[in-house]
Amino acid sequence: MDLNSPEAIRKVDSANMMGALLSFPDYVRTAYGLPRPLLDIPRPAGIAVLGMGGSAIGGDLLSSCLLEKNGPPVLVNRDYELPSHVGPKTLVFAVSYSGNTEETLAAFDEAKKRGCNIVTISSGGFLAQRNDPARHVPLPGGLQPRAAVGLMLLPMIGVLEDLGVADFRSEVDETVRLLTEMTRELGPSSPAAENPAKAVALGLLGAFPMIFSGPFLAPVAKRWRTQLNENSKLLAREDVIPEMDHNDLVAWSEDPMAARCSVVLLRDLREHPRIAKRMELTRRLGLDRARHVAEVRSRGTGTLPRLLSALIVGDFASFYLAVLRGADPSPVKVIERLKRELAG
């Protein structure tokens, strides 16, 4: 499949996933400007984000955003039940693009019983119906949930900004400018020789993808893995340095399977000097046995642009890898079947 052929891409992309990828900067701008609840509450002692899949990734990104801003700790709850420490002093974001995710609805009901301050974010569904309309953020509909990560993340950032937890205004402007530039660089009209996402996809083709990062970009590594799962229809794996140096590196140095793997190293411009040293040593002492190793570096200065600039390359790369494999990136038939059988 020719990645430089718009016609070949359109033939595979039945639901216009590429259109959603190119609109990512607009989703960030739109979501930040959506009307949001004005909460008359003290600064939260903790934050819990209830969500699954593409709806939960926003919580992971939020956690990394707040780490550098001395924000409260963020729990991302991917479960029907809540930990015992979630209570009235916790600000809860219940996030489900469809509004019908059963795990999120169950956790929302439990949070309501415990007297938590809850903001719901969805494009409709039962979640919107169960919460006070004044504490609900309605999202534009019509997207795959994984394509709406910007729409689901920015309202949470806006609510926290209004509470005085952190100031993201300049970061949002920087992010929109940067993502707008990057969609041109990563889009289908940019030839493979000049397009980092197409180059990554070609390096991953026919291999088992491994995505490694430092702690700050760990949510982005998870996002890369899940996009390869859903868009490219591939098994993939992610891990975090320095933890992987304490176990995984042994397998890389000795397992013949290493030669069947291709690696993407996600590098942050502000990564700890020891993380940078570990990245270089890990690449030389183990990852040199991989079929292919690529590096993707974050861009920008603020936490939000650095996260989303690394994330968007993975979104485009997973799309192009789907095209190379002749797979339509949008359908997730087995997930829909699972939901039907659970409902039955």
Of 230, 233, 238, 271, which one is the catalytic site residue?
A: 230
Transcribe 22-43 into DSSP letters. HTHHHHHHHHHHS-------PP
Reduced 3-state DSSP string for 194-212: HCHHHHHHHHHCCCEEEEE
CA distance 329 to 327: 6
- Is-contact 153 121, C-beta < 8 A? no
Sheet with 237-240, edge to edge strand ranges: 237-240, 208-213, 261-267, 292-297
Sole residue written with tokens 């209830």 = 50
CA distance 189 to 185: 9
CA distance 212 to 201: 16
Is 230 a known active-site residue?
yes
Is 339 a known active-site residue?
yes
The sign of the CA dihedral 20, 21, 23, 26 is positive
Of 7, 113, 246, 341, which one is the catalytic site residue?
A: 246
Please tell me the chain's helix, strand, coil percentages from 3-state DSSP, rounded to the nearest 5: 55, 15, 35
Is 272 a known active-site residue?
no
Sole residue written with tokens 């994330």 = 311
Measured CA angle at 213 (ends 236, 25), to 5 deg: 85
- Residues with a known catalytic role: 230, 246, 339
